[in-house]
Structure 1
Amino acid sequence: MQDIINPNENLIIPEWINETYFEHVLAKDEPNYVKVLSFCPVAAIPPGENFTSAMLRVYFELEMNDGSIKTTTYILKTMLPKDKGGDEIAEFGLFPKEMMMYNTFLPAFETLYKEAGEDIKLAPKCLHTDESDGCINFIFEDLAIKKFRNVDRTKGLDLEHMICALQKLAEFHAAGSTYLDHNFSFPSEFDEGFVTHRGKKFHFEGYAKKEKSFKNSIATWGLPDTDEYIKNFPSVEQYWAQCLSSMEVDPEEFNTLTHGDFWSSNLMCNYKPSGSINQLILVDFQICKWGSPAIDLLFFLSLSAANDIRIKKFDYFVRIYWDRLIECLKLLKYKKKLPKLRDIHGSMYKKNNSFYAFFALFNHLPLILFPSEKNSNLHELMGDSEEAERLRQRIASNPALCDVLKDTYPFFYNRGLFNFEDYEKEP
């Protein structure tokens, strides 16, 4: 078998992940194989790349019926152990939602494009899903075989990657909105995203643990009005009010099925010999939510662009997205009123969507810009130990994070997205 690299030696492989579990997938995907010669599961990604699931790459060496030997790989996605953050994640219903996406909605979206004469691929092929003892599992094609790879999350996306990603996002959104034209509604599970009513304890505890380190970070940005940012930082009550506001959807606006967790590690690319992008595909559909496209735009633009274009090209990126969105809505014969560019811009500054800018900078960006280390996992980040607090302080004091926040935080602050008193109840 080929040399196998394990990017996370600390990942514990559950005993049930064995060659027997893959028999039905191999029978369908490799009908000419005779027997399994070797089987080796390893981590698919380094620590810090995914905090809500375990991702494995499974290597097979197969004897084929013509006597040849074939090596193939699959990606297996499964739930975290209960004592390693699995219990907290299970409260958000992420895996049942993703199962619906891969079994029903993503195939339907791609069919819409095929019926319109376009072969547009949105997601990797899901070969199998199952649920056993409360654990949901997925087996995917391994996109690495087709030379797909992730970008370096710590560097951000250059202009070419940003444009391709926003165009793919627009294709996904156009299909979601058109699908609703034909099918009236999505299941109630898609009324919630990162915020759920039952997740209040998780948000409160997470906020309390990270507030101190984030405020300490503000003091290092070198801005003349540091005290103002710290003084106006939200209380936990204001933060939760903003969370709840994010669940509101204006039915008069253009809405769609959002990805919900759209950032650089949730897309993969392969490349032409020249080095330019050949294909871009989306992954990880656990947080999808019905709502404004502002959800994905605020999240993605806050987190994923390289620092030299993050603010400079912000409005241009919205334009790139909108151009492709309108093109796809027309292609799919969307029945309702097409959104104007000013509508998309306006939605990004509305009170109910502002959560996605603050949550991106407060919760995700510190982790995205922090280099991988073995303790980069949800269990450690949410811990109460002194070691966990030191980890949070290291993450928040990362010079790369401060370099981004000193520009991006004031950008949103000065546009009113971080006016947290707006969420207080009228006396």
Structure 2
Amino acid sequence: MLPNWLTEEYIQKALRSFYKDEQLRVLKLWAKPATEKGENFIGVMTRIYVEFEPRDGSVEKKSYILKQAVPSDAPQARIFAEYDVYNRELEMYDVVLPKMSQILEEAGFTDKLMAKAIIVDHSRTIMILEDLAPLRYTNADRVKQLDLTHTKLVLDMLAKFHAAAIILNQREPDLLSHNYASHFFSREKEGYEEVFIGLFRAFIRYVKTKPNLSSRYAAKLEDIVTNLMDYAGRSVDVEEKDLQTLVHGDCWTTNVMYQYDDEGNPTTVLPIDFQFSTWTSPAVDLHYFFSTSLKTDVKELETELVQYHYYALKRTLEALNFKGVFPSLFEYQLQFERRRFLSVVIANTFQPIMVYEGCEDPEFVNLYQDTPEGVKFQDSMYENEEIQRRIDTILPILDAKGFLDAHSMLPNWLTEEYLQPRLRTYYNDDRLKVLKIWSKAATGKGENFVGIMTRIYVNYQLGDGSVQEKSYIVKQALPEDVPQAEVFFEYELYTREMDMYEFVLPKMQKLLHEAGISGRLTADAITVDREHSTMILEDLAPLKYVNADRVKLLDLPHTKLTLEMLAKFHAAGAVLKQRHPELLTKCFYTHFFSRDKKGYTEVYTGMFRAFLRFVNGQPNLKKSYGDKLAKLSSHIMEYGARVFDVEENELQTLIHGDCWTTNVMFHYDAEGSPQSVVAIDFQLGSCTSPAVDLHYFLTTSLREEFKDRESELVVYHYNALKRNLEKLSYTGLIPSLQEYQVQFERRRFMSLLANLFKPIMIYNGSEETSDFSSLYKETPEGIRYQNAVYDSDVVLRNTTNLLALLDSKKLLDIQK
């Protein structure tokens, strides 16, 4: 059973090094299998026993685990070699896990993160590890699966694992970049495609045997098969703003081992088997673990368990002095929800294998190949009544969430042939050839009510023969049958933004460049397609532009950078209006409160009712402001229109119109300080006073503790605007600072209107909506969502302070 190279001399040298004892002498060596047939398809596990004499002359007997690659003639060997699973695990035990353990130990964490490696032999692709069994580590029952206590211990362990990897990547960014990019669903690899497609077809075959399931789901599942790997790959993809870490990649009941106290309660847990560790979102580990290892009653607590892991991860990172941006709970839940498709695959294909109790031959190829032996084994996996009950439960949930609907995120007209001439024009390369396009959603559910954002990835070959891969953002108008689409078309939001990217922004950027004013305003437009109401834009994420935290809002450095960017935008807009007025077509003179349009009246009056309901739910606020606000409600659209009105002697320019935390992206230096900022989303650009942008931005995006710096920030923007206007040789009248402050004060009512959106912008709870009408309609779903966004101490404090200020300025009274 021992390989012929594993001699007493070999093990003696390894043990001398591990125990730091050059006098240690191996007396005897023998072995037996460490796993049964079918328990481990990836490697050969052997428990070796060693009798040895250390320097003190005593005799000890210890066991160790020898872990080897499967023989090269095994059917699965080719697949594992393609995914480099063995070298990955060798490096994990040799380099990565020891460094992660050290990071945790430095912060006072004492739990083991790994079995110690006696030797990692890269030349033979083997490891000899400490045997955890004598330390009283055992596996829980893979068939009975895990109760809540076992589950929470694993989540605590994963939180430490994920946190330590994040810190390690900050300290040594090159260490995890080369060996941990591939995973089961990697698009550039093919080996596991046959496995997953075969497993999924076995699952469909089972569904078709159940009439109640077959009629509802079989056709949908068949439609998924051809895109299965791409859909699953999207679940592992990460965006720049996602929290990213090294995940275990194969965390399920058999790959964690527990220690128990004398009463049989689990006290500690330790992970094993790291062949599939991957750099991605920690949510990938959560979906895999939840889909394979939890008892039914524990699985029902999924939302609570995601929250449990989130707070454990947050605490651990704080203990490790993490300096990066940590997501809000809501953002973390969105990361988890975006990867829900993993549960379609893992719960319905892997879980039946993991809890299998049958007697059919568990050869690796029988898991997925359509041979008589394979079909017999696959069908027997689904005879488990608990698996059947779980499938009965999970399919309706996944269907309700839309995860059984096979759809390409690419519109059918967006082909290689469509994109190639547009990229040739943009890159000025007539020989450029598009090789492949794929996609994933660029925004999550409820993140963008105005349009559809898709991140596309393009492989293309340049004229010089080199091959590149780049990502772009496809921004499309909503389908006409979406309820809010009628409103957006009335206000020409899509036409306006296409005009901005095709004509206005390039001209503004050129004006700034010619005046020697540095810095970009936004992303480049690759193409603007009015036939399809679509734009393809440069992706800013690879350029290291990211959003700041919309919940924490902006500090002074972020705020001042944004004000400088707005000053350039406003200055260029004013000069553009002088020199090229033809570019600012009719749509740029409409806004939310345009008197000749009605679509947004229902939106704002509905949101104001929700605001009034919140105010009346607070006794102190109701007493002071309830009646005034009730009288004001029928006037808000007219007062909003007055905010946008400009007089002859006022500075008028093109404003952004929707400038808040999520519509600006920052570039940071190595220390995490913001260095530059660009704006995105220009559907609401209009010609009015720049003070409208200032009120909207400062109300929605400035941290509470800096609100008393408002006057200083208005001066800051004014000075930057004046400098830029002078550099651009603006020939109009530049207002004095006092006149500018009067313009700003005259539009103070805008802060109340912007404040209607702020609770939604900073909402961090679990109540979700993808229905735009939930923001303002008094349906049960709408009222529930509106009440949820106002259920916040921050919102209460902001509202209390804002209403007191507006009341002191008589802006809550009916105006003439």
Taking structure 1 as the reference length, what is the TM-score of the superposition?
A: 0.88
CA contact (8 A) 1:220 1:402 kept: no
Deviations 1:58-112 (A, max 9, x none): 1223356666543210011110112222222111111111122112221111211
Tell me which residue corresponds to 1:163. 152
Which amino acid is 2:272 matched to?
A: V
The DSSP-based 3-state class of the residue aligned with 2:350 is helix
The DSSP-based 3-state class of the residue aligned with 1:138 is strand
Q: Does 1:56 align with 2:67?
A: no
Q: Quick one: structure 1 residues 257 and 364, their matched pair in 2 at CA, closer, same or farther if it must change by over 3 Å?
A: same
Q: Quick one: structure 1 residues 118 and 241, their matched pair in 2 at CA, closer, same or farther if it must change by over 3 Å?
A: closer
The structure with more radius of gyration: 2
The DSSP-based 3-state class of the residue aligned with 1:232 is helix
CA contact (8 A) 1:269 1:280 kept: yes
Alignment counterpart, residue 315 of structure 2, candidates 303, 327, 335 = 327
Alignment counterpart, residue 264 of structure 2, candidates 275, 279, 283 = 275
CA distance in 2, matches of 1:112, 1:189: 20
1:384 deviation in Å? 5.4
CA distance in 2, matches of 1:424, 1:241: 12
Tell me which residue corresponds to 2:242. 253
Deviations 1:218-261 (A, max 9, x none): 24567x45422111104432113214424521111211111111
Q: Quick one: structure 1 residues 111 and 62, their matched pair in 2 at CA, closer, same or farther if it must change by over 3 Å?
A: closer
Q: Does 1:346 align with 2:340?
A: no
CA distance in 1, matches of 2:207, 2:9: 52
Relative contact order higher in (CA < 8 Å, ≥ 6 apart): 1
CA distance in 1, matches of 2:171, 2:26: 45
CA contact (8 A) 2:360 2:376 kept: no
The DSSP-based 3-state class of the residue aligned with 1:81 is coil
Taking structure 2 as the reference length, what is the TM-score of the superposition?
A: 0.47
The 5 A counterparts of 1:225-374 are 225-233=213-221, 234-310=223-299, 312-350=300-338, 353-371=339-357
CA distance in 2, matches of 1:151, 1:423: 41
Which amino acid is 2:312 matched to?
A: R
Tell me which residue corresponds to 2:691. none
Q: Quick one: structure 1 residues 34 and 355, their matched pair in 2 at CA, closer, same or farther if it must change by over 3 Å?
A: same
Tell me which residue corresponds to 1:106. 97
Deviations 1:124-145 (A, max 9, x none): 111111123xx41111100111
CA distance in 2, matches of 1:64, 1:121: 25
Tell me which residue corresponds to 1:194. 184
Tell me which residue corresponds to 1:8. none
CA distance in 1, matches of 2:26, 2:265: 40
CA contact (8 A) 1:33 1:64 kept: yes
> Which stretch shifts more, 340-349 or 391-400?
391-400
CA distance in 2, matches of 1:357, 1:315: 14
Deviations 1:191-218 (A, max 9, x none): 2222234432x33322443344212322
Which amino acid is 1:338 matched to?
A: F
Q: Does 1:179 align with 2:168?
A: yes
The DSSP-based 3-state class of the residue aligned with 2:144 is coil
1:276 deviation in Å? 1.6
Alignment counterpart, residue 61 of structure 2, candidates 65, 71, 75 = 71
> Which stretch shifts more, 358-367 or 375-384?
375-384
The DSSP-based 3-state class of the residue aligned with 1:284 is coil
Deviations 1:341-398 (A, max 9, x none): 2122111221xx3442223124311210112758323244345542222112212333
Identity %, equivalent residues? 26
CA distance in 2, matches of 1:43, 1:122: 24
Tell me which residue corresponds to 1:82. 72
CA distance in 1, matches of 2:89, 2:362: 24
1:330 deviation in Å? 0.5
The DSSP-based 3-state class of the residue aligned with 1:357 is helix
Deviations 1:405-424 (A, max 9, x none): 22233333322333332556
Number of aligned positions between the proteins? 408
Alignment counterpart, residue 378 of structure 2, candidates 383, 392, 396 = 392
Q: Quick one: structure 1 residues 383 and 417, their matched pair in 2 at CA, closer, same or farther if it must change by over 3 Å?
A: closer
CA distance in 2, matches of 1:425, 1:21: 61
1:40 deviation in Å? 2.3
Which amino acid is 1:301 matched to?
A: F
CA distance in 2, matches of 1:52, 1:77: 10
Q: Quick one: structure 1 residues 51 and 418, their matched pair in 2 at CA, closer, same or farther if it must change by over 3 Å?
A: farther
Q: Quick one: structure 1 residues 345 and 42, their matched pair in 2 at CA, closer, same or farther if it must change by over 3 Å?
A: same
Q: Quick one: structure 1 residues 207 and 18, their matched pair in 2 at CA, closer, same or farther if it must change by over 3 Å?
A: same
CA contact (8 A) 1:48 1:367 kept: no
Q: Quick one: structure 1 residues 384 and 417, their matched pair in 2 at CA, closer, same or farther if it must change by over 3 Å?
A: closer
CA contact (8 A) 2:358 2:381 kept: no
CA distance in 1, matches of 2:6, 2:409: 47
Say what the alpha-carbon RMSD is for the aligned residues: 2.4
CA contact (8 A) 1:42 1:57 kept: yes
Which runs of 5 or more residues in structure 2 are unaligned? 414-816
Tell me which residue corresponds to 2:122. 131
1:302 deviation in Å? 0.9
The DSSP-based 3-state class of the residue aligned with 1:278 is strand
CA distance in 2, matches of 1:218, 1:43: 37
CA distance in 1, matches of 2:254, 2:282: 19
Alignment counterpart, residue 129 of structure 2, candidates 140, 147, 152 = 140
> Which stretch shifts more, 382-391 or 317-326?
382-391
Q: Quick one: structure 1 residues 417 and 188, their matched pair in 2 at CA, closer, same or farther if it must change by over 3 Å?
A: farther
The DSSP-based 3-state class of the residue aligned with 1:421 is coil
CA contact (8 A) 2:32 2:48 kept: yes
Tell me which residue corresponds to 1:115. 106
Q: Does 1:45 align with 2:35?
A: yes
CA contact (8 A) 1:48 1:372 kept: no
Deviations 1:23-66 (A, max 9, x none): 222323564654423x3222212233322111111122335666
